[in-house]
Amino acid sequence: MASINIDSFFNSLNRKLEPQIQSHLKDVYSSMAIALLSAAIGGYIHLFTNILQGGLLSALCAIGFVIALYSTPDNGKNRTTRLMYLIGFAFASGLGLGPLMEYTILVNPTIIPTAFLSTCVVFGCFSLSAVFSDQRKYLYLGGTLMSFLSLLLMLSIINLFIGSKLLYQIHLYLAFFVVCGFIMYDTNLIIEKRRRGDTDYISHSVLLFLDFIDIFRYLLIILTQKEERKQRKSK
């Protein structure tokens, strides 16, 4: 039964996507996996060594690497260099997550693996739903998602002045669902770009890497808040 389900899965995938797009997505997800490994190393170095620490410098390094990546057009011969930029960007991003993970460990260390596994499930479900759906359907989400991003920015600015906990929670959960929407949008956008001849899988992987990191960050915050409330009630 399991083999039949796996065969039907790949048969459905073959019907949905052309071979060149399947190959492109493999490259995209492989690059993303390398980036996630680099981010994990960055987070580990912040947590368990004194070599480097996440903060303003790591944020500036991440910005520098991503600017270098997008400033270096893909010509088929410089992909190793561009992959190094991606790895550097991911490493700096992992360092930047270090302070949040450090606080999470103080609350409950088991939150980190729980958040990571939950992120994998959420990302996998939304990305696969985009792959197996009508290929252009989620592209129309772009305008709506950008509108929500503007709303989130406005809420952040307002909350800087009023410091409302309720407004912060609204912002947190709304941002989480917006990022879930971006997973579907970005997956369909990558497929559509490849259909139009764009083979730059390294820059495409940046989109999904950022979605994954954002989901992980929001889940860390949500689960940490839940654990803190649980600990307060138990006291």
Residue 89 lies in a domain: yes
Element (H, E) at 143: helix 141-162
Task: Rank 142-146, 194-198, 203-207 by mean pLDDT and report only the highest.
Answer: 203-207
1 occurs within a structural domain: no
- Structural domain includes residue 4: no
**77-109 residue pLDDT tens:** 889 999 999 999 999 999 999 999 999 999 999
Q: CA 194 to CA 218: how far, in whole Å?
A: 30
Domain contains 7 = no
Which pLDDT score, from 0 to 100, does residue 118 have?
95
* Rg of the chain in Å (alpha carbons): 19
159/220 Cα distance (integer angstroms): 21
| Beta-carbon count within 10 A of 121 CB | 10
Number of structural domains the chain divides into: 1
Dist. CA 186–CA 139, nearest whole Å = 8
Asked if the structure places residue 234 within a domain, the reply is no
* Residue 31 included in any domain: yes
Please give the backbone phi and psi of residue 37, each rounded to the nearest 5 degrees, phi first: -65, -40
User: Which residues contact residue 222 at a Cβ distance below 8 angstroms, ignoring those fewer than 6 apart?
Assistant: 172, 173, 176
Domain membership of residue 10 (yes or no) is no
Residues of the domain holding 182 = 19-228
Full-model pTM? 0.90
The pLDDT value recorded for residue 11 is 54
- Is residue 79 one of the residues assigned to a domain? yes
DSSP state of 8: H
CA dist 51 and 40 (Å) reads 15
Each residue of 167-192: pLDDT tens digit? 999 999 999 999 999 999 999 999 98
